[in-house]
Amino acid sequence: MRRKVFIASAAAGASALAFGAPAFIPQRGEAAEQIRIGMTNPLTGTYASLGQSQMRGAQMAVEAWNKRGGVTGQEVTLLSEDDAADPGVAVEKARKLVNQGKATALIGTVSSATTLSVSAAANALGTVFIDMGGSADSMSGKDCKWSSFRTCKTAYQLTHATGFTFQKKFGKRWYMITPDYAFGHGLAAGYAAVAEKVGATIIGNDLTPLGTTEFSSYLLKVQAAKPDVLIVNVSGNDFVNCMKQAETYGILKTTPVGGPLMELEGLWALPQSARVGYWGVEWYFAGDAVLGKKRSALDFVHQYRERHGTPPTARSCFGYITVDRLLAAMSATKSTDAVKVARALEGSEFDSPLWSGKAHIRKEDHQMMWPMWVAKVRPRGVPGDKYDTFEEFVRVDAEQITVPVSEVNKTCSMAYPS
């Protein structure tokens, strides 16, 4: 009976998954029969659509494991809290999930600021945390921890995958619009490093507060500067607002545009006239460039579309892969002990179910190493699928765009509990 209730609640979406929902309150005597995973994710605010996609992917991974009998015979339950992309709220929710919800591990986050705060809280709690979607470089640098891991790309990876393309296709005068927090600062530093390598000049970099709705003052400066390319580093609702207003000002017709990553949630929210440019792509639901012909990936896309009416995004992939790797480590160790699970995760190699090829989690900094792509926006999609909005994929392997281990070792030092 418990399993039926769980699956129905997961399919219902975020509201049914809220922490404390009846389906997830363990009944007397059930504690030993369940493995509870805690998830902090933005379900409201600027990054709500990204958080929802991560949750949907995580739900599907939990259900897949439960259909196979769970982890060592124990059913897996997903507990969820809305962190609203607020670091203080995220810490409070992470502690609640562990102390009250009895979560054995934590996953989630979109904003890098919440990523870093949850990572610190999880470490203090002696709990494994896998960051799905926060890209701050320091997470795998000076702020690295034995208990924390990351699925998505770092800011360094995003900028080094795309920056060379901007120089080759557009020129050497770059203007950036950047979110004013850890992730944005990392992107600005990454592009500055690439610019130095290729002889480009960053002629402007405007830092914008998270949740900005009016970009006119920044866009007027872009018009005056006449850059070879406008690099848009903002994401979520900020990205949608920025691109819509850039289209209104005529900038998208006169100035090439690109950025470190294109979130499909944002792209699909734009009018076709604002869908332009070359962008970093962390995962994609269609075509051989990313999926190959992998049956598990095709099945994931099909099941996701049937359930939600839209294709999965990179965030959906992050959610699924994060849960899958965490549960695989628990299964391999036959334990939820944080140190044992962390040791099983670090250095592990796996054949990915959602993209073509293998991947691994680097031992030195706990960064998942898997490829990304640079692609051109296809504004109208293709006949029969309006959501298929990318073309001209170029694959970039992780080793080409990741901080070398020799550099990681200068800043990242992990001390496991004795």
Q: What pLDDT is attached to residue 8?
A: 32
Residue 135, pLDDT above cutoff 90: yes
- Domain assignment of residue 143, yes or no: yes
Q: Is residue 409 part of a domain?
A: no
pLDDT above 90 (res 300): yes
Torsion 353-355-358-359 (CA) sign: negative
Q: Domain total for the chain?
A: 2
Is 162 in the same domain as 279? yes
- Angle in degrees, CA 39, 150, 78, rounded to 5: 20
Cβ contact 414:144 at 8 Å: yes
Q: Whole domain around residue 220: which residue ranges? A: 156-287+374-401
One domain, residues 122 and 183: no
Instruction: Note whether residue 362 is domain-resident.
Output: yes
| Same domain assignment for residues 397 and 261 | yes
- Asked if 15 and 108 sit in the same domain, the reply is yes
**Measured distance CA(110)–CA(51) in Å, rounded:** 7
Domain co-membership, 192 together with 72: no
Q: What is the pLDDT of residue 173?
A: 98
Chain segment 218-242, per-residue pLDDT in tens: 999 999 999 999 999 999 999 999 9
Alpha carbons 171 and 180: distance in angstroms, whole number: 25
Residue 415 inside a domain? The answer is no
Position 30 pLDDT exceeds 70: no
Q: Binning pLDDT at 50, 70 and 90, where does residue 418 land?
A: confident
Q: Using one digit for the tens of pLDDT, what is the confidence trace for 328-368?
A: 999 999 999 999 999 999 999 999 999 999 999 999 999 99
The reported pTM is 0.90
CATH number at residue 228: 3.40.50.2300
Please state at what angle helix 112-125 crosses helix 182-198, rounded to 10 degrees: 120
Which DSSP letter does residue 140 get?
Answer: G
Instruction: Assess if residue 408 is contained within a domain.
Output: no
Residues 146 and 168 placed together within one structural domain of the fold? no
Give me the pLDDT at residue 223, please: 97
Instruction: Give me the mean pLDDT over the 191-207 stretch.
Output: 97
Looking at residue 209, its amino acid is P
pLDDT of residue 33: 74
Q: Supply 341's token pair.
A: 């699970």
Dmax over CA atoms of the chain, in Å, equals 68
- According to DSSP, the β-strands at 358-361 and 349-351 are antiparallel
Better-scored residue on pLDDT, 231 or 30:
231
Does position 217 have pLDDT exceeding 80, yes or no?
yes
Please indicate, yes or no, whether residues 35 and 166 belong to a single structural domain of this protein: no
Instruction: Indicate whether 148 and 180 sit together in one domain.
Output: no
Mean pLDDT taken over the chain:
92
State the average pLDDT over residues 3-8.
33
Residue 406, domain member (yes or no):
no
CB atoms within 10 A of CB 197: 11
| Position 14 pLDDT exceeds 90 | no
Q: Both 49 and 160 in a single domain?
A: no
Residues 350 and 391 in one domain: no
* pLDDT of 374 over the 90 cut: yes
Q: Is the pLDDT of residue 29 over 50?
A: no
